[in-house]
Structure 1
Amino acid sequence: MFFLTSILLVLGSLGVLGHPTTRQDGLQTINNCYVSGQVALTFDDGPYDYEGDVANALNGGKGTFFLNGNNYVCIYDRVDQIRALHDAGHTLGSHTWSHADLTTLDEAGINDELQKVEDAFVNILGLKPLYFRPPYGSINDLALSVLAQRGYKKVFLWSEDIGDANGESVSYSENVYDGVINNYPNPHLVLDHSTIQTTSGQVLPYAVPKLQQAGYQLVAVDTCLGGDGEWPYIYVREPGTPDNTWHC
């Protein structure tokens, strides 16, 4: 992860990030937001225990949560939490079922990781996600091809990584945010993790007021892409009612 993040930061310094890579099948890889004065805070690896704290810490802003099916906890044990995030206007995307590195899987394995989390989204929200973040930022042509075949529109990487999932200190994460704040009004797409308690308990309460005071709007990824954004779901049916099939 450190090596990948370093590469992304180098690309960002060269001005490469912020311009989507679009395949012939229409699937885009997104490295940064497009709209000046906007920052998208994104949160991986949930659901877990702190998504509500993250939402509260955003102080009226909107976030993006890339959810697993069975990582820290089973997604079906957090139905009310997921519905509350969606109802509050936060954007929810897929992060695979088990936080698998898709580049280590064959086509059947990739489809299985995506299908199970899509089924959970449909059961819980009635919606299939169109936005995806690859675990570890690890993606290859086979995974992109499968994602496109399944109808995904966007694969999201990031412009900054606060390092919380890598064991970096709170002060390290705060320094990353200071760099974003000092770069106003340039747009940013920041990687955080909702599963790390210090992120919602210390880093966001430090960073969010400063971002807002600097003039940034805190928006979900579909907003910060401007005209290139779209509704990040496909409506499938009405949300379901939990039963004995809702398990991991």
Structure 2
Amino acid sequence: MFPISLASALTLLAGLSTIVAGPTPRQNGLQVINNCEVSGQVALTFDDGPFDYEGDVAAALGDQKATFFLNGNNYECIYDRVDQVRALHAAQHTLGSHTWSHADLTKLDEAGINSELQKVEDAFIKILGLKPLYFRPPYGSYNDLVLQVLAQRGYKKLFLWSEDTGDANGESAGYSQNVLDGVVGDFPKPHLVLEHSPIQSTSGQVLPYAVPRLESAGYRLVSVDTCLGGNGEWPYEYIGEPGTPDGSWTC
């Protein structure tokens, strides 16, 4: 074995720590996240809103926090849900982009990807005065071009998940409850769970069942920026004061 200096050894160990502990940096610092990193924490994430049940999801969470990856015009136009979006933000849930129309970005060219991102960013800026820096791709589908465009637009994280409750795939509430029972039994390992707020059974049946069980197991329910520990950051870029709805706030 060849001798190495103490400085070299420390450099090597630091590199190994980066490889093991954190997600791999991609495309100028943009990171793909598959799971949370902080022991004893679960990030429940809700895609495809805003729709009718965001308030019900928040009520089922109580004082716990979650993440909502919002579309601009999917189940409903985001400009028709301004009060809902602002209420989620005021309650300190984290809000991220899920594209404008829930498009599969891998099927679009660069201009199409930029359009899907720009329109939902414009809505965030009008409603909150903030540009989102966290993103979840519809269907979990992305490629190198998607990563390149996200990085060029300043995004920090692309989020996937460790568990899918299957609610958007037509699975029963019981199936979703069983998925979350598996998380309960895995304490204290961290988890990043995919759910969908427009599915009524998620807020009406699954969360009232699962949230107390997760809490009793010792889990803290947090937003994705919290569950990454030191690898998280403020998930927005401040642009200015929120706007006032007018005739241009349409889909």
Which protein shows a greater Rg? Answer: 2
The amino acid of 2:171's aligned partner reads: E
Counterpart CA distance in 1 for 2:20 and 2:239 is: 33
What does 1:137-152 correspond to in 2, within 5 Å? Answer: 137-152=140-155
User: Which ranges of structure 1 fall in alignment gaps of 5 or more residues?
Assistant: 1-15
Counterpart CA distance in 2 for 1:245 and 1:17 is: 48
Residue number among 135, 153, 178 corresponding to 1:132 in the alignment: 135
**Structure-2 change in CA distance of 1:103 and 1:172 (3 Å):** same
Please tell me whether residue 50 in structure 1 is matched to residue 66 in structure 2. Answer: no
Partner in structure 1 of residue 63 of structure 2:
60
> C-alpha displacement at 1:114, in angstroms?
0.1
Decide whether the 8 Å contact of 1:70 with 1:97 is kept in 2.
yes
User: Which ranges of structure 2 fall in alignment gaps of 5 or more residues?
Assistant: 1-18
TM-score normalised to the size of structure 1?
0.92
**Structure-2 change in CA distance of 1:18 and 1:175 (3 Å):** farther
Counterpart CA distance in 1 for 2:20 and 2:34 is: 5
Please tell me whether residue 225 in structure 1 is matched to residue 225 in structure 2. Answer: no
Deviations along 1:100-130, whole A, 9 cap, x unmatched?
0000000000000000000000000000000
Please tell me whether residue 161 in structure 1 is matched to residue 164 in structure 2. Answer: yes
Counterpart CA distance in 1 for 2:94 and 2:187 is: 23
Decide whether the 8 Å contact of 2:133 with 2:154 is kept in 1.
yes
> C-alpha displacement at 1:17, in angstroms?
11
The amino acid of 1:45's aligned partner reads: D
What does 1:93-242 correspond to in 2, within 5 Å? Answer: 93-242=96-245
Identity within the alignment, %: 78
Counterpart CA distance in 1 for 2:36 and 2:21 is: 6
> C-alpha displacement at 1:21, in angstroms?
2.4
Counterpart CA distance in 1 for 2:20 and 2:137 is: 17
What does 1:73-84 correspond to in 2, within 5 Å? Answer: 73-84=76-87
**Structure-2 change in CA distance of 1:17 and 1:189 (3 Å):** farther
Q: CA RMSD in A?
A: 1.2
Corresponding residue pairs, total: 233
Decide whether the 8 Å contact of 2:27 with 2:151 is kept in 1.
no
Decide whether the 8 Å contact of 1:19 with 1:32 is kept in 2.
no
Decide whether the 8 Å contact of 1:162 with 1:172 is kept in 2.
yes
**Secondary structure at 1:93 match in 2:** strand
> C-alpha displacement at 1:20, in angstroms?
1.3
Deviations along 1:53-106, whole A, 9 cap, x unmatched?
000101210010000000000000000000000000000000000000000000
Counterpart CA distance in 2 for 1:166 and 1:204 is: 17
**Structure-2 change in CA distance of 1:17 and 1:157 (3 Å):** farther
